[in-house]
Amino acid sequence: MSRSRTLAETAMERCDVLGAISDEPDRLTRQFAGEAMHRAHEQVGAWMRDAGMVVTRDNIGNLRGRYEGAAPGGPTLLLGSHLDTVRDAGKYDGPLGVVVAIAAVQRLHDIKRRLPFAIQVIAFADEEGLRFSSTYLGSRAVAGTFELSDLEHTDAGGVTMADAIGQFGGDPARLDDDRWRDGKLLGYCEVHIEQGPVLETRGLPVGVVSAIAGQARYHITFTGQAGHAGTVPMRGRRDALVAAAEFVLAVEADASSHNGLVATVGQLTVHPGAVNVVPGEVKLSLDIRHPDDSVRLERTRHLLERARQIGSRRNVEVADRLLGDNPSAPCAPRLVSLLAKAVDEAGVPVVHLVSGAGHDGVTMASLTEVGMLFVRCKGGISHNPAEAVTVDDVAVSIDVLGRFLELLPTLGPE
Ligand code: GLV
Ligand code: MN
Ligand code: MN
């Protein structure tokens, strides 16, 4: 355990280093294929090389480090997490899983130990979807489920995804090369902060994820009529913002009255956005999640219909656009059991949790078996600069991941 502690101290320092690499001067925002991601790759690539890995970057912009197994031609285990962040992020959502994976490989490299399988650590390019309102671009490319039509999406500055990939050094015409083709996979395992309060409440450093809740994201546009704030009478206004505001409250009320449902309007833009102009157009986002896909789909249909009803009562047009729909993804029972065994061997009571947050494992599940280990985070806070984990808990996660690697050859049949 003391080696895990030293590795954890390094992992914490590395999260601090990455936490200072941002596209914005006074807060952490590291978007897909941006300038900060370049600098993050230089750092992470150097750490991967120090841990004995051969480092490559694929077309979509995932950084990959490969640590060979004892004999060529054996299977591969994928480890990793993502390096992109939300706007004004904390330091651990994503990067922690990358540096913990590197730590687990470092421990093997230090004692020149080769396992009966190779390990590839992947630092995924886009889990949060900040730049293109996308999700899982990096893991979709690896899993072979990337939608080529997404390449035409534009960011807030009008840059297409295809151009962003090209500027970052990838070839958007060759994304198919990123698809996994390097032989048999044993699975994909990700360490991630919990982003919720369960582990803290139970007084446990880590927990085993049993499933990842499904989620959908939409853009909804309310189009009314802009007009003079001083002369257009209140009666008969077609104010897009008051229609949108009514919808936001309806979303909150609906999610609050359905157990397990969470729904969020996190973006809202008002046009033309002037003090003395009745808002003519509002665009907002809707993020909706539930562990049971049938409930999520039913409530989504209801809310989109509700938006149209509000619009028709207020003489405001409503249009919705689906940005992404990801069904809930169970973790693989074999990997769940193996992680639970590793947690137990580490002397920690085993708890299983469902993840309300999305993870690249959702996409990777179409390629291989997926397992996840959560690390306790302070107050369950994330997507917030106040995100915090302790070095002791990170040490436990490194210890557990090391045990998991040693247990993997005992994996039973699928
Ligand atoms: C990613 O963090 C998500 O669940 O939105
Ligand atoms: Mn996140
Ligand atoms: Mn994440």
CB 114 within 8 A of CB 68: yes
Query: How does the average pLDDT of the chain come out, rounded?
Result: 97
Three-state SS at 164:
helix
Confidence of residue 2 (pLDDT cuts 50, 70, 90): confident
CB of 128 within 6 A of ligand 1: the answer is yes
Instruction: Tell me, in angstroms, the distance from the centre of ligand 1 to residue 359's CA.
Output: 7
- Tell me the H-state helices in 347-390: 361-364
Quick one: which ligand is closest to 262's CA?
1
CB of 358 within 6 A of ligand 1: the answer is yes
Nearest atom within ligand 1 for CA of residue 195: 2
Beta bridge partners of 358: none
* pLDDT (0 to 100) of residue 98: 98
* pLDDT (0 to 100) of residue 363: 96
Three-state SS at 148:
helix
**How confident is the model over 290-337, as pLDDT tens digits?**
999 999 999 999 999 999 999 999 999 999 999 999 999 999 999 999
Task: Indicate if the alpha-carbon torsion angle 279, 322, 297, 363 is positive or negative.
Answer: negative
| Token pair 């996660």 in the structure block, residue | 397
Nearest atom within ligand 1 for CA of residue 383: 2
User: What percentage of the chain has pLDDT greater than the value 90?
Assistant: 98
Confidence of residue 413 (pLDDT cuts 50, 70, 90): low
63-67 and 54-57 strand pairing: antiparallel
pLDDT tops 70 at residue 266:
yes
pLDDT tops 90 at residue 398:
yes
Cis peptide before 272 (omega within 30 of 0): yes
Please choose from 137, 290, 323, 359 the residue to mutate so as to test ligand 1's pocket, defined by most ligand atoms within 8 A of CB. Answer: 359
Angle subtended at Cα 13 by Cα 190 and Cα 1, rounded to the nearest 5 degrees? 65
Instruction: Tell me, in angstroms, the distance from the centre of ligand 2 to residue 85's CA.
Output: 7
Instruction: Tell me, in angstroms, the distance from the centre of ligand 3 to residue 295's CA.
Output: 24
* pLDDT (0 to 100) of residue 411: 83
**How confident is the model over 82-139, as pLDDT tens digits?**
999 999 999 999 999 999 999 999 999 999 999 999 999 999 999 999 999 988 999 9
CA 96 from chain centre, in angstroms, equals: 12
What is the secondary structure of 175-234 as a DSSP string?
Answer: GGGGS--SS-EEEEEEEEE--SSHHHHHT-SEEEEEEE-EEEEEEEEEE---EETTTS-S
Q: What is the per-residue burial (b if ≥16 Cβ within 10 Å, else e) of 97-110?
A: bbbbbbbbbbbbbe
User: What percentage of the chain has pLDDT greater than the value 70?
Assistant: 100
CB 213 within 8 A of CB 354: yes
| Token pair 């046009």 in the structure block, residue | 271
pLDDT tops 60 at residue 1:
no
**How confident is the model over 152-188, as pLDDT tens digits?**
999 999 999 999 999 999 999 999 999 999 999 999 9
241-254 mean pLDDT: 98
Instruction: Tell me, in angstroms, the distance from the centre of ligand 3 to residue 72's CA.
Output: 32
Instruction: Tell me, in angstroms, the distance from the centre of ligand 2 to residue 251's CA.
Output: 21
Angle subtended at Cα 85 by Cα 189 and Cα 201, rounded to the nearest 5 degrees? 65
48-57 mean pLDDT: 98
Quick one: which ligand is closest to 382's CA?
2
Quick one: which ligand is closest to 95's CA?
3
Quick one: which ligand is closest to 194's CA?
3
DSSP 332: P
* pLDDT (0 to 100) of residue 257: 98
